[in-house]
Structure 1
Amino acid sequence: MDSSHHLRSFGMSGMMITDELRSIEQQYNIELGHIAPAIKQSALEYYPQFEKEVRQQAAAMAQYYELFYCLEQSARKLITETMDEAEGPDWWEKKVPQAIREYVNKLIQDELDMGMTPRSEQAIDYTTFGHLFDIIGANWAHFEPIFTSRLAVQRIVKNLNMLRGPIAHCCPMSEDEIDRLVLTVKDWFRLIG
């Protein structure tokens, strides 16, 4: 047997062990922390065919995607909870700028027209990161008690939106931009009073 066959066998054994651990996690409702959430088996079978360098870049970038995912979800939650409390359950229709609502409605319709499963029942889940600041800015009176400075929020969101590009478009980030991302996320949390 050639070495590539041994390597494939080793990889497949690892995937089988991973699947068994995932089953244990689901059965006992525990997290063993061995891997990120599962990718469907059909997608995994193509993974070894990608170049090693690309796989290594993907693994390195995964942590920044995860950081940004958490940040964006927490920003959406903050906005939703703040606006629900201040304006009631119909805040989306009453207080979100019309251009954002139109963008979201078009995106929802485009996904439906493509036969895709809706990503969410919440309209805010269809917004971009930039939209989130626009919603905050349009309703600043409700967010002023939360954030220490409107200009700082604007600057940080602009930085985060720029830093999001390489993550969202699957490009490696330079070390300086990784440092900038970490500092900007720290700035975001420092802004929340």
Structure 2
Amino acid sequence: MFEAEATSFQKAGIQVGADQTASEQQLLTEALAPFPVNLRNSALEMARLYSVLFAFENHVRGFIRETLSEAEGSDWLDKLPRKVRDFAEKRQKTAMGDSWLEGEKTDLLGFIDFGHLSQIIVEKWEHFQDVMPSQHWLKQRMDELEKSRNFVAHNRALLPSEYQRMYMYIADWNRVVGL
């Protein structure tokens, strides 16, 4: 009963319980402590960028899911481009076989590469054209974001100018889709 009430207070912006921010910061500080200062500082910058990319990429997946589900019905996944769907199904099957690896394995869209996201939107353009300025606009931003995203995903540091480009393109997307 308390948990149900606490949740409604939290949704209203009222803090209930301990603030975990300080303890999370302490855990991060302890985990990074053995490494040199320059690596710690780079790690914190990259963590911020990774967080933004994580939210962005998963928002795009959700946007596709919501748009296609509404436009094509509950079987929208079956209507994805064949190569993209086959790729995702193969990855999903591999993940299911890795029984020791815990995590979300049921969402097929989660197994699609970042680059496939714009392919899906372009392939299903009739459902996205009222929101997106143009296919060129979409592909340019998503192609450049993918290259930078892959640097981040493979733990290679980017220069601050690349951070700014990524933040700018993500802000463009957010403005276009109404976030």
Normalising by the residue count of structure 2, what TM-score does the alignment of the two structures yield?
A: 0.79
The 1:154–1:103 alpha-carbon spacing in structure 2 relative to 1, beyond 3 Å, is same
> What is residue 111 of structure 1 aligned with on the other side?
95
Structure 2 residue 166 is the aligned partner of structure 1 residue 181: yes
How far apart, CA to CA, are the structure 2 residues paired with 1:104 and 1:35? 39
Question: What number of residue pairs does the alignment pair up?
Answer: 164
How far apart, CA to CA, are the structure 2 residues paired with 1:46 and 1:179? 27
> What is residue 100 of structure 1 aligned with on the other side?
84
How far apart, CA to CA, are the structure 2 residues paired with 1:169 and 1:91? 31
Give the RMSD, CA atoms, in angstroms: 2.8
Preserved CA contact (<8 Å) 1:104 1:126: yes
> What is residue 48 of structure 2 aligned with on the other side?
63
Q: Give identity over the alignment, percent.
A: 26
Q: What are structure 1's unaligned runs of at least 5 residues?
A: 1-24
How far apart, CA to CA, are the structure 2 residues paired with 1:50 and 1:132? 36
Preserved CA contact (<8 Å) 2:92 2:105: no
Q: What are structure 2's unaligned runs of at least 5 residues?
A: 1-9
The 1:46–1:184 alpha-carbon spacing in structure 2 relative to 1, beyond 3 Å, is closer
Secondary structure of 2:21's partner? coil
Structure number with bigger Rg: 1
Structure 2 residue 85 is the aligned partner of structure 1 residue 133: no
How far apart, CA to CA, are the structure 1 residues paired with 2:22 and 2:87? 35
The 1:33–1:156 alpha-carbon spacing in structure 2 relative to 1, beyond 3 Å, is farther
Normalising by the residue count of structure 1, what TM-score does the alignment of the two structures yield?
A: 0.74
Letter in 2 for 1:84: S
